[in-house]
């Protein structure tokens, strides 16, 4: 009789039923909010009329802390922004200070950084894909994803001594040189990952139930995505061909052959949850390509020769942006010539990506909020900072 998605209040009233808007709080302890996020849902029956995200439960004053620490001491704090992609965070910050100070980084360091950043991207996407499956109701892919992420974490651990918060990329270099078997281990990981991606496609991505839950849900048109400042898989899922690694190349990304993956609307409309999800899956494959090419020409050398004895950048300011697994991570750093930064502003991709949730979830059902939120792939650590 009634198609829920098209029901308006007027139509219901015509049937002689009384309706009222209801406010439902989802979170901050809800398992599908990926951390401590509270969503205020304004509902009409089961149909969403408005979603108001309330953030700040994980606020740790990163920016204010940075003003009281020396430039090197900020690096462990950047780890804790996007805790699933620590190395990418370190990379952006180190890059900013290096540009301020005009430091040339040795070749080997650049290669290590790119390999590590891409491994981290894969690890982060594996978590995103696994937890998204779990949000939708598929538990097995989650375990498979974590099993394969473990191989990457093992390499990180052997290299820099930590499994989550690495403090690895330092200004002008990296904290530890890679261990002797590094190249072999990473090549093995790539070999393990390729079948995993196929397995994920069979298990989850082309599963009928999964497609029904995600295709045509949470459609984000390209113009809305650009207006809200969405970046990363969120933007590419909407069909916009934009990736900082290619369009504003930093480090040595311009040397590698790879493709920017965009959503094509294979299962529904361009920019739906399925597209955003699949962009992540395809990106893992592209990261594998970058890693393979980097391993082929992995140079020898010293990794710590360019680390400055004291970090004291000249007066000035810089905005540096890198492609995080979640989008454009930016640091705006102002130096006043002393040993501590005058201001460090972080531009978190998750923050802009989350802000669009009200726009893309209107008119869907309550259960779809979980699917939409999962496809945004937020990490509250960087949103609240």
Give CA separation, 86 vs 6, 120, 196, in Å. Answer: 43, 8, 23
**Is residue 227 a contact residue for another protein (CB under 8 A)?**
no
The one segment of 32-40, 187-195, 257-265, 354-362 that binds another protein by CB under 8 A = 354-362
**Is residue 302 a contact residue for another protein (CB under 8 A)?**
no
Question: Do the Cβ atoms of 346 and 379 come closer than 8 Å?
Answer: no
**Is residue 176 a contact residue for another protein (CB under 8 A)?**
yes
Ranges of beta strands (E only) in the chain are 21-26, 38-44, 47-54, 169-170, 173-174, 316-324, 327-335, 343-347
**Is residue 1 a contact residue for another protein (CB under 8 A)?**
no
**Is residue 157 a contact residue for another protein (CB under 8 A)?**
yes
With CB under 8 A as the contact rule, the residue among 150, 241, 259, 266 that binds another protein is 150
With CB under 8 A as the contact rule, the residue among 59, 60, 191, 362 that binds another protein is 362
Give just the sign of the alpha carbon dihedral 299, 164, 276, 378: negative
Q: How far is the CB of 362 from another protein (least distance, A)?
A: 5
The one segment of 106-114, 171-179, 278-286, 343-351 that binds another protein by CB under 8 A = 171-179
Residue count (the chain): 385
Please report the DSSP string for 326-371 in residue order: TEEEEEEEEE-SSSS-SEEEEE-HHHHHHHTHHHHHTTSBHHHHHH
**Is residue 309 a contact residue for another protein (CB under 8 A)?**
no
**Is residue 50 a contact residue for another protein (CB under 8 A)?**
no
Our CB check for another protein shows the closer of 43 and 217 to be 217
What is the side-by-side strand order in the sheet with 38-44? 21-26, 38-44, 47-54
**Is residue 6 a contact residue for another protein (CB under 8 A)?**
yes
With CB under 8 A as the contact rule, the residue among 31, 137, 161, 299 that binds another protein is 161
Number of residues that bind another protein (CB under 8 A): 39
With CB under 8 A as the contact rule, the residue among 42, 101, 165, 183 that binds another protein is 165
With CB under 8 A as the contact rule, the residue among 39, 85, 123, 160 that binds another protein is 160
The one segment of 35-43, 176-184, 330-338, 345-353 that binds another protein by CB under 8 A = 176-184
Tell which positions 98-127 bind another protein, by CB under 8 A. none
- The first and second tokens of residue 3, run together, are 């198609």
Question: Do the Cβ atoms of 335 and 315 come closer than 8 Å?
Answer: yes
Question: Do the Cβ atoms of 48 and 365 come closer than 8 Å?
Answer: yes
Tell which positions 248-267 bind another protein, by CB under 8 A. none
Our CB check for another protein shows the closer of 221 and 249 to be 221
Look at the block and give the residue holding tokens 């949000």: 135
**Is residue 72 a contact residue for another protein (CB under 8 A)?**
yes
User: 28 preceded by cis ω (within 30°)?
Assistant: yes
**Is residue 215 a contact residue for another protein (CB under 8 A)?**
yes
The one segment of 105-113, 150-158, 236-244, 255-263 that binds another protein by CB under 8 A = 150-158
Backbone Cα Rg of the chain: 22
What is the rounded CA–CA span in Å between residue 54 and residue 147? 33
The one segment of 28-36, 211-219, 231-239, 329-337 that binds another protein by CB under 8 A = 211-219
Q: Which residues contact 122 (CB under 8 A, 6 or more apart)?
A: 152, 193, 284, 287, 288
Q: At 153, which helix (H) or strand (E)?
A: helix 140-160
Task: Count other C-beta atoms under 10 Å from residue 73's C-beta.
Answer: 14
With CB under 8 A as the contact rule, the residue among 19, 73, 340, 355 that binds another protein is 73
**Is residue 338 a contact residue for another protein (CB under 8 A)?**
no
User: CA 58 from chain center: how many Å?
Assistant: 17
With CB under 8 A as the contact rule, the residue among 364, 370, 376, 377 that binds another protein is 364
The residues of the shown chain that bind another protein, judged by CB under 8 A, are: 5-6, 69, 72-77, 147, 150, 157-162, 165, 167, 175-177, 179, 203, 208, 212, 215-217, 219, 221, 268-269, 304, 359-360, 362-364
């Amino acid at each position: 009789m009634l198609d829920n998605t098209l029901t308006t209040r007027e139509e219901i009233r015509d049937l002689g039923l009384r309706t009222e808007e209801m406010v439902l709080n989802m979170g901050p302890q809800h398992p599908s909010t990926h951390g401590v996020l509270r969503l205020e849902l304004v509902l009409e029956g089961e149909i969403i009329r408005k979603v108001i995200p309330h953030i700040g439960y994980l606020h740790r004053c990163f920016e204010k802390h940075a003003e009281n620490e020396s430039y090197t001491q900020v690096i462990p704090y950047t780890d804790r922004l996007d805790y699933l992609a620590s190395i990418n965070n370190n990379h952006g910050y180190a890059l900013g200070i290096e540009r301020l100070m005009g430091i040339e980084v040795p070749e080997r360091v650049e290669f290590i950084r790119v390999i590590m950043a891409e491994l981290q991207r894969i690890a982060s996407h594996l978590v995103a894909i696994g937890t998204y499956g779990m949000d939708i109701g598929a538990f097995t892919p989650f375990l498979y994803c974590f099993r394969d992420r473990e191989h990457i974490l093992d390499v990180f651990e052997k290299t820099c001594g930590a499994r989550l918060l690495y403090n690895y990329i330092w200004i002008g270099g990296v904290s530890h040189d890679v261990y002797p078997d590094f190249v072999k281990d990473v090549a093995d990981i790539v070999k393990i990952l390729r079948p995993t991606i196929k397995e994920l496609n069979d298990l989850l991505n082309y599963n009928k139930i999964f497609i029904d839950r995600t295709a045509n849900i949470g459609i984000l048109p390209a113009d809305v995505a650009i207006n809200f400042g969405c970046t990363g898989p969120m933007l590419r899922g909407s069909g916009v061909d934009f990736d900082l690694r290619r369009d504003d190349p930093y480090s040595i990304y311009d040397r590698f052959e790879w493709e920017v993956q965009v959503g094509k609307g294979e299962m529904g409309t361009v920019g739906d949850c399925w597209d955003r999800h699949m962009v992540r899956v395809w990106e893992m494959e592209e990261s594998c390509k970058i890693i393979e090419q980097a391993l082929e020409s992995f140079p020898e050398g010293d990794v710590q020769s360019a680390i400055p004895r004291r970090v004291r950048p000249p007066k000035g300011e810089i905005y540096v942006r890198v492609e995080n697994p979640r989008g454009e991570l930016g640091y705006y750093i102002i130096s006043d010539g002393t040993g501590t930064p005058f201001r460090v502003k972080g531009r978190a991709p998750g923050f802009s990506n989350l802000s669009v949730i009200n726009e893309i979830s209107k008119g869907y059902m309550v259960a779809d909020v979980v699917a939409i939120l999962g496809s945004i792939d937020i990490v509250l650590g960087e949103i609240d900072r």
